[in-house]
Structure 1
Amino acid sequence: MSLTACPGTATPPSARPLLHWTEDGEARSAPWQSENGAPPPRRVVIADDTISADAAWRLACEGTALLWRGDFNNARQLLQAMGRRVVRKPGKAKPAKAAKPAPPITEAFHLHRLAQAQRARSLGMLLIPVDDGYRIPLRRAPDLAAACSEAYGAAAGPFVVSLRELLGLVGAHEWRKKGVPIPALDATIHPHYGVFSPVRGEYLDLVAQAPLPAKTLAFDIGTGTGVIAALLARRGVARVIATDQDPRALACAADNLGRLGLAHRVELLQADLFPPGRAPLVVCNPPWLPGKPSAAVEYAIYDPDSRMLRGFLAGLAAHLEPGGEGWLILSDFAEHLGLRSRAELLALFEAAGLTVIDRLDIRPRHPRAADADDPLHAARAAELTSLWRLAPR
C-alpha cells in the first residue's frame, strides 16, 4: 500500500506560506512547514517552561498556537500532557449521566475520524523553530538533522513546524533504520518517511500463497515500499515492473530492492496506475477505505471516491495477457463500516468485464482487532483481508 496520491516531496522554504507573530514588541515571520498542507495558525503566542498544560491545551483548542522558546524536552512533556487532556478536560466533575446507546457503526466511524482530526489539529498547535541546517535553537534540543533531511531534503533555511510533525519525522527515521520484519520475505523492509509501512503484513501471506499464472512478468501497481514487488521476485517472477505516483515511494522501493539484492529484477516507473503493455499477472493493493484523507499518511488508507480501486479494475483487462489474471488485495473493513457494500464491489467487477477465479482470505493479526474498547471493535473483529484472483470474462 502506498501514498499514491500524496505529494512526493516537502515544499521548499521559498514556496512555503509565512507564519506571523509578535515577539518582544516586534512583528516577526518565518516560513511555515506542514506536511499535511495545513495553513499557518493565525494567532500565535510565545510560550516557555512556565506555561501549564491546562493553559496550553485551552489555547490550542481555541486555535491559538504556542511558539516554544523553552527547553525542548519540556516541550515534549507538555505535548504528552496536552494529549492526556483530550480525554480528561480540566474542570469540576459533572454528575454521571445515563449511558447513551452506542451509535450505528458508520456514524461511530465518522465520529471517530472527526475526533482524530480535532485532536491532531489541537496538538499541532505547539510549534518549534528550526534554524538553517535543521538546527533547533532550544535548550537540550537533539540533533534531528538526519531525520529532517530524510523527510524534507537538503536544508534550505529556517522555518517553524509543529512539534507533533517533528516527532513524527523522528519516529519515521527510527523505523527506517530498524526496518519492519516481513516473515513472507524472511527479511526486513525499511519504510521511508511519507511511505506507508507494511506493519499489517498478513496480506503478504496471501501474495506468497496464491498460485502464479506465470513467472515471466508481473506488474505491481502502487508499489509503495516495494514489498510486493520483492515478494513476487523472490517467488521466481523473472521481471517485475512496479509503479507509483509518489517519488518518495519510488526512492523507498529502490532502497529496499537494493538491500534485498533484487534491483536487477524489478523496474521502477513513476506512473498513475499501469505501465505500458500487458503482463500475465497484475497486482494491486489500493487504499482499503473510500473517503477523503485528512493527513498525508492517510492517502495510503483512504481512496477518494474509490478512484484507485475503480481505475485498477477498469483498466485491468486491457493490461492482461491472454490467460493472465489480476490480484486485487482488499480488506472488507469498509463493508463492515457501511462505507461500501459487497454488492457494490462485485458490480465494479461486472462493469469492468471481470470474473472471479478464486478468493483467498486471511484475518488480521494486529492488536486492535482484539481490543473490545476500540469504538470500531465490531467492524475490526469481523474484518477479512482478501486476495481476489480476477480474469477477463
Structure 2
Amino acid sequence: MPSVQPAAVSPLILEWQEHDQPCRALWRDQHGTPPLRLQAADDTLSADAAYRLISQGTALVWRGDYHNARQLLKALASRVDRRQQQPRRNDAAPQTPQSQFHQHRLRQSQRAQILNRLLIPVEADGTIALRRAPDLGEACRAALGPAGQPELIPLRALQGYVGAWEWQKKGIEIAGLPARIHVPHGVYSPIRGEYLPLLANAPLPPGARSAFDIGTGSGVLSALLLQRGLERVVGTDLNPRALACARDNLARMGHADTFQAVACDLFPPGRADLIVCNPPWLPAKPTSQIEQAVYDPGHRMLLGFLQGVPHHLEDGGQAWLILSDLAEHLGLRTPQMLPEAFAQAGLRVIGRSDTRPVHPKALDRNDPLYEARSQETTTLWRLAIA
C-alpha cells in the first residue's frame, strides 16, 4: 500500500457559539464551501427541521449519536432528491442533451452543497467524540494530513475519505500487472478500466523503447507499457499526489529505475518513441481536484497534447490518444472537432480500436444522461506525423 502525502489545503478557522460559549475549529474540506452560519444539533432535531435549517444556509455541528447522523444524512438526501424530481415550469421546454448535462451538473452541485452542511466535529488527535463513533483517524489523515487541532468535516466528505482509504489499502487488480494499483484520495482511480485492454493490446511502434505518459495519474498506463517491454517511461502530472502515487505503484512493480515521474504541464523535455494520453473526456469546468481528471474546460489538455506531439515524438514514433465520444453524444463536442484537431496538429490516424462502457451508469435507464451514456464508445487513436 502506497504512502502518499495529502495535498495541501489552506486552513480556515470556523467560529460559532454553543451554550453561550465560543467555539473554534479548523475547516479543510477540499470540496465544500465553508459555511457562514453554524448551529449545534443533536438527536432531538427532526429531519424536517434539519432540512429547513440547512436549506436556509445554516450548517449543523452534530453533537448526537454518530449513527443517527448517518441516518439523518440519508433522510436529507431523500428530501433533496424528492425536491429535485419535482417538475418545474421550464421542464416542459424541449431539452437538448447539452442542456440535460448542464442541469444534471447543477443539480449535483446543489445536492452536494446542502448535504455538506451536516458537520462532524473531529478532535485534535483525530478521534470523534460522539456516541458510537468509529475510529476514522487514519482515513482523515490519509486524505487531509494531521490537523493538530479540532476541526469540522462534512459527514458526506468523511464517508468519502473512508471509502478512499479502504480502496487505497485494498488496491485495484489490473489484468497484466504484477501488483495492484493503490490510489489515494485526490487521485483518479482506474476502477472504470474498460479502456485499459485497448492500450495493452495495441501494436507498439516498431523498435519502440521509450514512452511519455501525459497526465499519468495513478501510473496505470505507464505500468502497462513497461510490462509490455518498453525500457523507459516518463509520466507527467501537475497533481503532487498523483506523482507520488505513480512513483509508489511503479516501484512496487519493480520499475523504480525505469519510470520517472515529472511535475510539469503536459510534456517533459526531450522526445519519445511513443506518447500516450488519456485526457479528461468532457469539456466542462471541474469543481474539485479529482474532477480535473474528468472535466477539461475548452479541451485545453486534449488540444495541448495534440499540438505538442510533433515537437516531442521521435521519427517513426506514434501518439496514442484514449478518448470517449460521450462529449459528442452530449452535444459538448462536434463529430468534426477531433478530425480537424488531428489535421491542425499535423497528425494522421494510422489505426484505432474501440470498446463500449461496462460501468453501471451506462446500463441504468434512470440515469439522467442514459441516452448519451448508452451510445458511448471509447477509442484508442493511433496517430503519426502526417
Under TM normalisation by the shorter chain, which class is it?
over 0.9
Secondary structure at the residue paired with 1:289? coil
Alignment pair present for 1:256 and 2:254: no
Alpha-carbon shift at residue 184 of structure 1 (Å): 4.3
After superposition, the C-alpha distances for 1:28-55 in whole angstroms (9 at most, x for unaligned) are 332212212x442111111011111122
Map residues 157-306 of structure 1 onto 2, 5 A cutoff. 157-185=149-177, 187-213=179-205, 214-306=207-299
Which residue, 40, 45, 56 being the options, matches 2:50?
A: 56
Counterpart of 1:350 in structure 2 is 343
| TM-score, L = length of structure 2 | 0.93
Alpha-carbon shift at residue 185 of structure 1 (Å): 3.1
Higher-RCO chain (CA-CA 8 Å, sequence separation at least 6) = 1
CA distance in 2 between partners of 1:354 and 1:305 (Å): 20
Q: Which amino acid aligns with 2:64?
A: G
Secondary structure at the residue paired with 1:339? coil
Counterpart of 2:20 in structure 1 is 25
Give unmatched runs, 5+ long, in structure 1: 1-6
CA distance in 2 between partners of 1:391 and 1:371 (Å): 38
Contact 1:185 1:231 in 2 (8 A): yes
CA distance in 2 between partners of 1:162 and 1:354 (Å): 47
Counterpart of 2:11 in structure 1 is 16
Counterpart of 2:359 in structure 1 is 366
Contact 1:286 1:309 in 2 (8 A): yes
Alpha-carbon shift at residue 332 of structure 1 (Å): 0.4
CA distance in 2 between partners of 1:89 and 1:58 (Å): 13
CA distance in 1 between partners of 2:56 and 2:173 (Å): 42
CA distance in 2 between partners of 1:238 and 1:166 (Å): 41
After superposition, the C-alpha distances for 1:219-244 in whole angstroms (9 at most, x for unaligned) are 11111111000000011111111111
Alpha-carbon shift at residue 218 of structure 1 (Å): 0.5
CA distance in 1 between partners of 2:80 and 2:176 (Å): 39
Aligned residues: 379
Counterpart of 2:100 in structure 1 is 108
Contact 2:6 2:144 in 1 (8 A): no
Secondary structure at the residue paired with 1:273? coil
Which residue, 115, 119, 128 being the options, matches 1:127?
A: 119
Alpha-carbon shift at residue 101 of structure 1 (Å): 7.3
CA distance in 2 between partners of 1:88 and 1:389 (Å): 46
Label 1:174 to 1:40 Cα distance change in 2 as closer, same or farther (>3 A): same
Give unmatched runs, 5+ long, in structure 2: none
| TM-score, L = length of structure 1 | 0.91
CA distance in 1 between partners of 2:245 and 2:355 (Å): 27
CA distance in 2 between partners of 1:148 and 1:52 (Å): 28
Q: Give % identity.
A: 55
Secondary structure at the residue paired with 1:355? strand
Q: Which amino acid aligns with 1:63?
A: G
Secondary structure at the residue paired with 2:14? strand
Alignment pair present for 1:315 and 2:313: no
The range that moved more, 254-263 or 346-355, is 254-263
After superposition, the C-alpha distances for 1:203-222 in whole angstroms (9 at most, x for unaligned) are 11110111111331011111
Alpha-carbon shift at residue 89 of structure 1 (Å): 4.9
The range that moved more, 169-178 or 54-63, is 54-63
Contact 1:10 1:151 in 2 (8 A): no
Contact 1:184 1:205 in 2 (8 A): no
Counterpart of 1:4 in structure 2 is none
Contact 1:215 1:236 in 2 (8 A): no
CA distance in 1 between partners of 2:61 and 2:215 (Å): 38
Q: Which amino acid aligns with 1:167?
A: Q
Coordinate RMSD, CA, aligned: 2.2
Q: Which amino acid aligns with 2:342?
A: F
Alpha-carbon shift at residue 183 of structure 1 (Å): 2.4
Alpha-carbon shift at residue 102 of structure 1 (Å): 6.5
Contact 1:18 1:31 in 2 (8 A): yes
